[in-house]
Amino acid sequence: MQKRLSADEYISGVLSGNRIILSRTITLIESQLPRDNETAQNVLEGILPYTGNSIRIGITGVPGVGKSTFIESFGKYLTSQGKKIAVLAIDPTSQRTKGSIMGDKTRMEELAHDSNAYIRPSPSGNTLGGVTNKTRETMLLCEAAGFDTIIVETVGVGQSETVVKGMVDFFLLLMLSGAGDELQGIKRGIMEMADAIAITKADGDNLQKSKNARMEYVHALHLFPPNQNQWYPPVLTCSALEKSGLGEIWKVILDYEKQMKNSGFWKSNRQEQSLSWMYAYIKQFLENHFFENESVKNNIEYISQQVLTEKILPIQAAKKLLELNK
């Protein structure tokens, strides 16, 4: 059994860039044990002055778009440019074993062996949308450890997009070409959240289809109102297989960073995200506190049964349980 570290040992290990200590610290942050909570909070407070100096990039896309393949090629491109990147890959969780299903380190084997890259697969658990509820804390730890580019990969198109958009600086939507009507089934809200769209697998016989798809998305985006930050999302094509288009995507991200910092949006956006994080934590704390209440635990099954047998309205049941929590 590993020796338990003090908060100061965790902090010094993270700040020195020790990968083993960083991984142990993330495990501490993710721990559900009450005894770990105080240490975790002390660690986060200790590393806070050393955070915030990275570009935080969210990457999502439809199933089959090749997110992990893209991130591996894109990550290798960034490390070749002297960047230190951390990939926080949110794995869907097995409801039977509660462990990660997809295993990102096996899907990004080449990047996993890059000395300037760090991959942390995290099981999403029961969190809405497949985003682990400790992703924000993990980002801060990686920043404190010296990583200047943080990539958050979501499970797929769904609720996770809204959550990830609320914790990153730049949101990249990956799309496929040649899958029938290019805009069929694509939620308008997801496209409106994107800061750029990249058509993947633009190689071989698929190259022309990718170019056609790009034009369809360009026309579709023109119908949307401008973003509040006055940024017009570009549409690009790329191939992770041929390593093409990756430099263009990175240039777009850097252009976005420059424009948003000059306008003041970069700072105000991060401030809003911090407030949202505070409110999200309050909601999570209150929910946990409610379900841990002994009176609630002793009565919730009985009251739930009354709802199922239609002896009581759901809203009345909720009020009864909330009264028990006082």
Instruction: Tell me the mean pLDDT in the region 113-127.
Output: 77
Q: Tens digit of pLDDT for each residue in 226-243?
A: 778 889 999 999 999 999
Residue 269 pLDDT exceeds 60: yes
Looking at residue 23, its pLDDT comes to: 95
Residue 326 pLDDT exceeds 70: yes
Instruction: Tell me the mean pLDDT in the region 27-33.
Output: 89
**Lowest-pLDDT choice from 99-113, 183-197, 226-240, 309-323:** 99-113
Query: Is the CB of residue 54 less than 8 Å from the CB of residue 148?
Result: yes
More confident residue, 123 or 278: 278
User: How far is it, in rounded angstroms, from Cα 20 to Cα 50?
Assistant: 19
User: How far is it, in rounded angstroms, from Cα 261 to Cα 308?
Assistant: 54
Q: How many CB atoms lie within 10 A of CB 257?
A: 14
105 CB-contact burial (10 Å; exposed 0-12 / middle 13-18 / buried 19+): middle
Binned at pLDDT 50, 70 and 90, residue 159 comes out as low
- Domains in the chain: ranges and CATH: 1-50 (1.20.5.170), 51-262 (3.40.50.300), 276-324 (no CATH)
Q: Tens digit of pLDDT for each residue in 270-313?
A: 999 999 989 988 998 899 899 999 999 999 999 999 999 999 99
Q: For tokens 């440019």, what's the residue?
A: 81
Query: Is the CB of residue 177 less than 8 Å from the CB of residue 201?
Result: yes
Looking at residue 99, its pLDDT comes to: 43
For residue 20, give the amino acid letter. Answer: I
Task: Give the helix ranges, DSSP H, for the chain.
Answer: 7-15, 19-30, 34-47, 67-80, 104-107, 109-112, 135-144, 160-165, 188-193, 207-221, 246-263, 265-292, 294-308, 314-324
Instruction: Tell me the mean pLDDT in the region 109-137.
Output: 74
Looking at residue 96, its pLDDT comes to: 39
Record the tokens describing residue 247, joined without a space.
């430099």
